[in-house]
Amino acid sequence: MAELRVLIAAAGTGSRAGLPYPKTLHPVRGRPILLSLLGTLAPYDAEPTIIVSPSGEAPIRTTLEEAGVRAALVVQERPTGMGDAVLAARLSPRFLPGADLLLAWGDIPLLEEATIAALVERHREAGNDFTFVSRPVDAAYTRVARDGEGRVTALEETRELGVEPELGERDIGLFLFQAGLILDLLDHHRSEGLGRTTGEHGFLYIVAKAAALGLKVEALPIATEQDCISLNRLSDLDPLA
């Protein structure tokens, strides 16, 4: 069984939400999102890697030190996209190419332990190369594409497709994959992952690439409503009020 490492993508500056600090440090139910995430993920990696922005490094480091939490911080020097943020994991002293990498977006405040456990269990028992959590929703800003037999063929961003979100199956920002294999693909196919609207190197396109190459890709529609809450704008937290 492959070792497991945790990677948290937390380079968001908080500007879209109107915050003067990294959005992963925004308190939800009295605790910064990042500390809640680290606590939930601690059983899988006692010293995870966190990708941070240059301006976010100091406040995030201070928050971790004050909480007595250990982590390896890697700075994403320029905001060139989530794909590049994930590739920055290679710079971490904790990176193991042969490990499974459990990746979580840094703006998910209430990720449930049972959801993570189910993801890890399924990924390992099925021998998957790439597994992620999903949920059917009324307005899917990302959408899982499946073939006639239910196999995942892609994970698409509606803004890149130029369509409005509608009824569909979305991801929640929680992924588990073979680190060396998927990061090599992400690096090799970088030019194919540049967004038409942003010009940034995305991450979700790698699902279609992996599926097309015949890798074992699976989406688990097990996410709860709580799992799906994420912070892009402060209004996204209204359900917690």
Per-residue pLDDT of 107-144, as tens digits, reads 999 999 999 999 999 999 999 999 999 999 999 999 99
Instruction: Give the domains, in start order, of the chain with CATH numbers.
Output: 4-240 (3.90.550.10)
DSSP-derived pairing of the beta strands 31-32 and 49-52:
unpaired
Residue 217's H or E segment, with its range, is: strand 217-220
Of the candidates 74, 106, 70, 68, the one whose C-alpha atom is nearest the C-alpha of residue 92 is 74
Radius of gyration of the chain (CA): 17
Distances (CA, A) of 145 to 11, 13, 194: 28, 30, 20
SS3 122: helix
More confident position, 30 or 155: 155
**pLDDT of amino acid 211:** 98
**pLDDT of amino acid 160:** 87
Considering all CA atoms of the chain, what is the largest pairwise distance in Å, rounded to the nearest integer? 51
**pLDDT of amino acid 24:** 94
133 forms beta bridges with: 220
For range 159-183, the mean pLDDT: 95
For range 68-97, the mean pLDDT: 97
Please give the DSSP secondary-structure letter assigned to residue 194: B
More confident position, 231 or 9: 9
Residue 237 has pLDDT above 70, yes or no: no
SS3 192: helix
- Residue 238: pLDDT band by 50, 70, 90 thresholds? low
Report H helices in the chain: 33-41, 57-67, 82-87, 113-126, 158-161, 179-188, 205-212
**pLDDT of amino acid 231:** 74
**pLDDT of amino acid 3:** 95
- Please tell me the distance from the alpha carbon of residue 12 to that of residue 66, in angstroms, as a whole number: 21
- Residue 235: pLDDT band by 50, 70, 90 thresholds? low
